[in-house]
A and B are shown apart, each in its own frame.
Chain A
Amino acid sequence: MELQTKQLNPQAVLIRINGRFDAAVVEQVKRVWIEDETIHFVVADLSETTFIDSIGLATLVSGLKSTRQRGGELILLKPTEPVKVILELTRMNMVFKMAATLDEVEALTKAS
């Protein structure tokens, strides 16, 4: 597992989760929006995520609820096929906004 974060603008941060998104990484991921209340938009880059389990999904939901309470959004960027399958099976694809590019992310954040 590898985690990288990048500040996109003062209110938005991108977090890239490479490898497995499971219990081993959730606390680090949560810190992105828990420790900085000025973050309104979180972009979860899942383009290199090989697997997500229910704890990973719960973490994304927690981030979604936190950012929406601040008037923002948590957006999934380029989820890999295995992650897409899980999102579809659990019907979480009905819950999250998804983007294929950072331009799409920008459009979604403007619309929020």
Chain B
Amino acid sequence: MTDRTLDEVFAYKKRIAELESELDEMTIALAQAWDQLVPFLQAAPTQATSTLDIVPVLESIIAAIDARMGGVYLKHDDEWLTIPLDVVNVRDFYKHLDRLESGQIIHMHNIPAWHGRPTHWMFMPILINGKVVGAIGVGLEEGEREFTALDARVLTRMTERAASQIVAANLAESQAREAQLAREVQIASLIQRSIQPLTVPRLPTIEMTAHWMPASTVGGDAWGWVLQPSGQLACFILDVAGKGLPAALGAVSLHTALKMTLHLGLNPVDALATVNNEVYEAYTNAGLLATATVIRIDPNSGEVEHANAGHTPTLLRTGNKWSLWNASTPPLGVLPDISPQCDYRILQSGDLLICYSDGFSEIETPQGLWGTQGLLHAIPDHATSVEFAVQNIIAAVENLPNYGAAADDQTIMGLSFL
């Protein structure tokens, strides 16, 4: 055997000894890690009732792996929930999580963490009945060190043990969120109800009626009226697109703004243009839009001014003939400036004006949407009272075949000149 071969043999033996030593150290470290985990696991409630209950589990994993940070990531209705919040807040991060497969640890590098510095993450999917429902991840500062095979093993075992508890916590949290949502819907409903007028004006030459029927889910319909300083009656109907609290709050702000402008004596065109200007930015930020129709009528002369921003057509019956006043401009909140057109007419005795929300026209019937024609067909030719006409529309809706609960708010407002 040459000297060179002997040197190589010694080198291999030395390397084997080093590896054995490292293996011993790893074994000791593994034992120590498990020792560290036990108190944490005992401290964690066996039946988690909120996501707070899984924080000890997460802390135990971070401690065992000697990581800098960690998070539990749970998939809920196509969205990722994180515990704690905002450990990492990068959209691409969630795209990677979407690709998690069962039993497979994944690594992600250069992920900016909450402190702004790049981090390196290792994730283990959480499996329930073989399906990926989330992941536990631990993070190190980028370049600090690499995750070891032992780290991966600890993460795998801990994730397996914590899975059912984490899912129980997620379920409890979901139920709490649903209860909170139900409370918010109730508040939204109260808000929406509070802005609907309880009475109609009593004027000798004008009959006015209105009906507001909220859907089971809160929408953004509202109506209102104002007697202007000039003695003219101004009234409006509005519909904020959307459901729940955002739509209800949008309806309240729009209702208030329209009432204010009409109290100040503005005509329908200026009222809509002014209010649009005011709400445009807020509606843009909130992703809202609203349709609205404003009508002003002079009780003495029957002179009517009408402006419609994206709302369903107003039905106008003069003599025996029906015509439509369509929107002349897009809904409020869509464009920064609008210039609605003013429709103008002098009403004669017996003429009718009816405005309604899309909760009527978009009712689904076996023949398709009920539409404006549905409303027109529901009004008897001999109807001279607007209350009578509106009652017939409501009765027709209730008698539609297979008609159940309204899918959207239904608001209808009518005027007739006596």
Contact = CB atoms under 8 A, between A and B. Distances in A.
Interface of A: 23, 28, 30, 35-36, 51, 53-55, 57-59, 61-62, 65, 82, 89-92, 94-95
A95 B362 contact: no
Interface of chain B: mostly helix, strand, loop or mixed: loop
Given A23-B243, A53-B358, A55-B241, A91 B327 contact: yes
Contacts of B358: 53-54
Contacts of B313: 89
Interface in B348-386: 358, 362, 369
B197 interface: no
Given A53-B358, A89-B327, 11 more contacts: A23-B243, A28-B78, A53-B362, A54-B239, A54-B358, A57-B241, A61-B333, A62-B287, A65-B284, A91-B310, A94-B329
Contacts of B335: 95
6 contacts: A54-B242, A54-B331, A55-B241, A89-B327, A92-B331, A95-B330
Contacts of B327: 89-91
A58 B331 CA distance: 10
A94 B288 contact: no
A90 B239 CA distance: 12
Interface of B: 78, 91, 239, 241-243, 284, 287-289, 291, 309-313, 326-331, 333-335, 358, 362, 369, 408
A95 B334 contact: yes
Contact of A90 (B331, B333, B369): B331
Interface of chain A: mostly helix, strand, loop or mixed: helix
A54 B219 CA distance: 11
Contact of A61 (B291, B309, B326, B334): B334
B330 A54 contact: no
A91 B310 CA distance: 6
Contacts of A94: 329-330
Given A89-B326, A91-B327, A95-B330, A55 B362 contact: no
A61 B312 CA distance: 18
Contacts of A90: 291, 310-311, 327, 330-331
Contact of A55 (B91, B243, B330, B333): B243
B291 A55 contact: no
B334 A55 contact: no
Contacts of A95: 330, 334-335
Most buried by B among A28, A30, A90, A94: A90
A89 B241 contact: no
A55 B290 CA distance: 10
A61 B289 contact: yes
Contacts of B310: 90-92
A91 B242 contact: no
A91 B329 contact: yes
Contacts of B242: 54-55, 58
A1 to B, nearest CB: 14
A91 B287 contact: no
Contacts of A92: 310, 330-331, 334
A95 B289 CA distance: 13
A91 B308 CA distance: 10
Nearest to A95: B330
A91 B241 contact: no
A23 B408 CA distance: 11
Contacts of B311: 90
B334 A54 contact: no
